[in-house]
Amino acid sequence: MEISAVPTEVCTLHPESTLGKLYLDWMPQPGNYINLEGKTYVILERRHRYQFRRGKYNLFRVLVYVQPAPENLERSLVNGRWIIGDGSCRYNAGSEIIRCAVNPNGPCQGCRFWEA
């Protein structure tokens, strides 16, 4: 399935408000990052809106719920996906949302628990 530019509405949950609308040529997934008006946000949730036309439902719009990404965002590319923190550390969670159990707020550099 080829994805053309999908109209995407970017919203926050708490407080609930719309940050803006844009067209994306990729399907946003929870854990991905999105830049809007010079600020970086992490996607928490994605919802689809469909419209019934010519006897079938078509994707009409995507809503993404976001929260501001931390300023000191450390990321590593591991197995083709971005994770938070140093991917070579033994305690890294390997997640797009949480860094690790022993030092979830980071940073990884200078952490006393860091192990290869």
Report pLDDT digits (tens) over 32-90: 888 888 888 889 999 999 999 999 999 899 999 998 887 667 777 788 777 888 888 88
Other Cβ atoms less than 10 A from the Cβ of 74: the count is: 15
Take residue 17 and report the two structure tokens written for it.
Answer: 């408000």
Question: How far, in Å, CA of 97 to CA of 74, rounded?
Answer: 12
What residue has token string 């990321």? 75
Across the strands, what pairs with 112? none
| 55-64 pLDDT, tens digit each | 999 989 999 9
Residue with tokens 């946003």: 28
CB atoms within 10 A of CB 102: 14
- What pLDDT band is residue 3 in, cutting at 50, 70 and 90? low
**pTM, two decimal places:** 0.64
The pLDDT of residue 2 is above 60: no
